[in-house]
Structure 1
Amino acid sequence: FYGYRRIAAYSHLNNDCPKISEYMTLKLMRELGIRSRMQKRYRKPKTVVTVDQKPNLIRHLHDLSGVWQTDITYIQLTNHRWVYLATVLDPEKRKVLGYKIGDTMTAELATSALQMTLDKHRKPLIIHSDMGSQYTSAEFNIKCQNYGLKHSYSLKSHPYDNGRMEA
């Protein structure tokens, strides 16, 4: 069922139906015990980047062998809570190499997904991510330095740079 505003608006558009105000529609719906089944849409949490732009090392690469891409995805559960999935992808093979799920979106989540992947697979030359705070954190960058990985970043407001991962 629609809400009283939409029903009242429909009555104004339909020539066969008498025109009725929103207030009268609400009053009649209450008397008849009719309630809207529409639900407010849930919005995923927003993030803000305050770090200066870092280099994008894969922008002009034609050969993506030796490159891994990583990102964090928001997943809404049926109880309207959010969980976060940090994933590491091999863009050449289009295969997920490692992942980690957590209920908070932290640098530790991103770092543990990378560590899981490094434990199972040969290390790449470059790891590419967006400019999220998890990937610009000292914890993630120290992990990359310890393994000798070059870190490449997507341009701010350009998810196309990390398109394979976003898809």
Structure 2
Amino acid sequence: MKQKRYNQEFKETIINLYRSGTPVNQLSSEYGVPEVTIYKWIKMHSPIEGTNELTPADISEIQKENLRLKQEVEILKKGYDHIREKVTDQEVINHIHVEKAHYSIQMMCRVLKVPKSTYYQAANKKPSVYQLENEQLTTRIRDIHRESNELYGAPKIHFLLCREGWKVSIKRIQRLVRQAGIRSTIIKKYRPTQTQHLVKERENHLNQDFQTTSINEKWVADITYIYTLRDGWFYLASVLDLHSKKIVGYKFSRQMTVELVTQALENAILTQEPLEGLIVHTDLGTQYTSEAFQKQLKKHGIIASFSRKGCPYDNACIESFHATLKKEEVYRNRYSNFETAKLALFQYIESWYNRKRIHGAINYLTPNEVERLCRSTL
């Protein structure tokens, strides 16, 4: 049997519980982690004597980062030689001029293969009347944008400039607005109605067939939201194994992003190590239909399956788990902030739901017991 693997967030939470006063033997019993493993995690994340706050894990990460940066520099140097002829001298000179406050001109000229004389000749060149006018226009554009409480975009700014006597085209203003990084910051009113956009139907391999013969055959995934008093709403992405009913992967975040669902799936893959051919079923949410999530599935040989539009029964199992989570934990408590809620839900999933909560659908066993039985027969 392979040694069980844990993601970094799980390790950090166990260490935080230890530092808050929970004994190692209790943590081992509650979360099924050997005591020697917990002591190892604590040692790896404890400051080294004489280094203030540096831990062995920190030093290891620094060494990895240094190696990564060294490799990136070598790759960039090799790649730059192939594209240098496609980059104009003026573009390189502009870059040097922007970065000269951070790096020496001599070093940048050497790395970017531009003679110093070429740079200084260009630097001493007087700007044209057109360039000077663009600078004046950009200054006035910024003023108008600020005076409008950052609400105006290029069309309204162009109108005001013309009214002030400037003879400029809308395309020129659009270009200067874009170069200045100016955007109209209008917040749209929230409307709790169904989307009017067409949702592209995708292949439904699961087709409400929730029957399995072993673990890591069919997973279902979804996102739910939880409210906190200080930090407002945050999100939980969960991945459930239909055979064991175990939450095999999850991730908490204060934003509902693609990274939220990809990291939840990556955590599940890390701990479960499924074989190719696994089916992962989700709804048609933009996070799950995103290119990044689909690439992740293909990378691990996973088959993507999607619910039909407007049919919640296709993904009923994971929605049932989230309903249970809220009835048993969320609705019974009030969370002051994101970190408090995150810890409470971690304890619910890892200590209660996966390890202790029995399920009628799996002969009143716990998810961990079902998984243990399956692994013993593999």
Residue 89 of structure 1 pairs with residue 237 of structure 2 = no
Deviations 1:140-160 (A, max 9, x none): 000000001000001111111
Name the counterpart of 1:98: 249
**Count of equivalent residues:** 125
SS of aligned partner of 1:135: helix
The match for 2:302 among 135, 145, 149 is 149
- Residue 78 of structure 1: how far off its partner (Å): 2.3
Go from structure 1 to structure 2 and tell me whether the alpha carbon gap of 1:72 and 1:60 turns closer, same or farther (over 3 Å shift). Answer: closer
SS of aligned partner of 1:166: helix
The match for 2:272 among 97, 121, 125 is 121
- Residue 96 of structure 1: how far off its partner (Å): 0.5
Go from structure 1 to structure 2 and tell me whether the alpha carbon gap of 1:116 and 1:80 turns closer, same or farther (over 3 Å shift). Answer: closer
Contact kept? 1:51, 1:136, Cα under 8 Å: no
Deviations 1:92-145 (A, max 9, x none): 211111110001101111000000110110326100001000000000000000
* AA matched with 2:241: D
TM-score by length of 2: 0.31
Larger strand percent: 1
Structure 1 portions without partners, runs of 5+: 1-42
Distance 1:92 1:102 in 2: 27
TM-score by length of 1: 0.68
Instruction: Tell which structure's C-alpha radius of gyration is larger.
Output: 2
Name the counterpart of 1:57: 205
Identity of aligned residues (%): 38
Go from structure 1 to structure 2 and tell me whether the alpha carbon gap of 1:144 and 1:99 turns closer, same or farther (over 3 Å shift). Answer: same
Distance 1:117 1:92 in 2: 14
Distance 2:245 2:270 in 1: 19
Structure 2 portions without partners, runs of 5+: 1-189, 321-378
Larger helix percent: 2
Higher RCO (C-alpha 8 Å, min separation 6): 1
Contact kept? 1:131, 1:154, Cα under 8 Å: yes
Contact kept? 2:208, 2:313, Cα under 8 Å: no
